[in-house]
């Protein structure tokens, strides 16, 4: 069995050159550090999924910055839009990423939904942007597309990736607008048990929940993290905690195929957090003749 390591980054919130996000966050610098960190990882990821809010205001200049920075990434990458993105300038900045064409819904709205079949883990990108809806969601057309796509390969282990999580986070201001058609999505996922993970962004923190018989999770942000305030009246504010990412690792362990998800942190510079250091003089409990650990 061939292992596959897929990194997920999210919520870049890039601005045009010379601008800081919300007059505080140098999001371009954070993304450059992230690309450098991922290129130095061993082994390098097989692919990087970028789950929305690529630009902060959807400006064409921001997508040009995005393309320039991502050109240094040493592996393929795949994009889905978030509620801060504008699809036309995003597509214009990445004309070689034909999957961004997606399909047209009624009203000529473009749905950037697509499938990547290049890895042992099947990757399905979902467009959860609904104009005017901060909480995002799906449409009947996108649900039908997803159902057909999953039905084509019912035995293929699959990871769905999208911007908006189909669950509440406990961070009050992020939960004010529920995900549209979340119950319909949950019912669909239950019919397709090959879906190993639903990987989302939007929350700017690592959050995990069971959903539709699988595991749904949100990734940390690259540009900034939301303040972890779980009061219903929590204000909409962010903190400059380090950028983070998820690694979705499809492999075989102890004789079983499995998808593991690890959380990583991007250092401000190489060696910022110290290490790696070897463990030594590690004490382990001695085992009795029966094989059980002795307890003193």
Mean pLDDT of each 10-residue bin along the chain, 296 residues long = 95 97 97 97 95 97 98 98 97 97 92 97 97 93 98 98 97 95 98 98 97 98 96 93 97 97 92 84 67 48
Q: Is residue 208 part of a domain?
A: yes
Q: What is the pLDDT of residue 296?
A: 44
Q: Is residue 288 part of a domain?
A: no
Neighbours of 138 (CB within 10 A): 26
Q: Is residue 116 part of a domain?
A: yes
| Contact indicator for 215, 67 with CB cutoff of 8 Å | no
Q: What is the pLDDT of residue 58?
A: 95
Domain of 176: which CATH number? 3.60.21.10
If DSSP codes are grouped into helix, strand and coil, which group holds residue 279?
coil
**Domain span at residue 154?**
4-265
| Contact indicator for 166, 186 with CB cutoff of 8 Å | yes
Q: Is residue 295 part of a domain?
A: no
Q: Is residue 286 part of a domain?
A: no
Q: Is residue 203 part of a domain?
A: yes
pTM exceeds 0.85: yes
Cβ neighbours of residue 260 under 8 Å, at least 6 residues apart? 248, 249, 251, 253
| Contact indicator for 88, 59 with CB cutoff of 8 Å | no
Q: How many domains does the chain have?
A: 1
Q: Is residue 271 part of a domain?
A: no
Q: Is residue 67 part of a domain?
A: yes
> Rounded to whole angstroms, how far apart are CA atoms 138 and 130?
7
Q: What is the pLDDT of residue 295?
A: 46
Q: What is the pLDDT of residue 289?
A: 54
> Rounded to whole angstroms, how far apart are CA atoms 233 and 175?
11
What six digits make up the tokens of 89? 């300038």
Neighbours of 63 (CB within 10 A): 23
């Amino acid at each position: 069995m061939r292992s596959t390591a897929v990194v997920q980054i999210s919520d870049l919130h890039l601005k045009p050159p010379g601008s800081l996000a919300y007059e505080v966050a140098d999001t371009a610098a954070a993304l450059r550090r992230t690309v450098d960190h991922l290129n130095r990882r061993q082994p390098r990821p097989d692919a990087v999924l970028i789950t929305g809010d690529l630009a902060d205001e959807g400006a064409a200049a921001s997508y040009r910055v995005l393309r320039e920075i991502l050109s240094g990434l040493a592996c393929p990458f795949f994009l889905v839009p978030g509620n801060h993105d504008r699809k036309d300038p995003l597509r214009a900045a990445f004309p070689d990423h034909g999957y961004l064409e997606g399909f047209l819904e009624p009203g000529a709205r473009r749905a950037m939904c697509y499938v990547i079949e290049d890895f042992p883990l099947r990757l399905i990108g979902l467009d959860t942007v609904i104009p005017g809806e901060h909480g995002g969601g799906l449409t009947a057309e996108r649900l039908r597309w997803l159902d057909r796509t999953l039905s084509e390969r019912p035995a293929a282990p699959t990871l769905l990736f999208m911007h908006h999580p189909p669950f509440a986070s406990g961070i009050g201001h992020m939960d004010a607008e529920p995900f549209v058609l979340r119950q319909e999505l949950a019912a669909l996922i239950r019919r397709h048990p090959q879906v190993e993970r639903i990987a989302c962004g939007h929350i700017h923190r690592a959050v995990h929940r069971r959903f539709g018989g699988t595991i749904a999770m949100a990734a940390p942000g690259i540009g900034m993290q939301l303040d972890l305030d779980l009061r219903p009246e929590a204000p909409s504010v962010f903190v400059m905690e380090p950028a983070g990412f998820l690694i979705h690792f499809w492999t075989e362990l102890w004789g079983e195929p499995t998808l593991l998800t690890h959380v990583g942190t991007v250092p401000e510079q190489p060696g910022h957090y110290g290490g790696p250091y070897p463990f030594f003089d590690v004490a382990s409990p001695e085992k009795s003749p029966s094989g059980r650990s002795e307890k003193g």
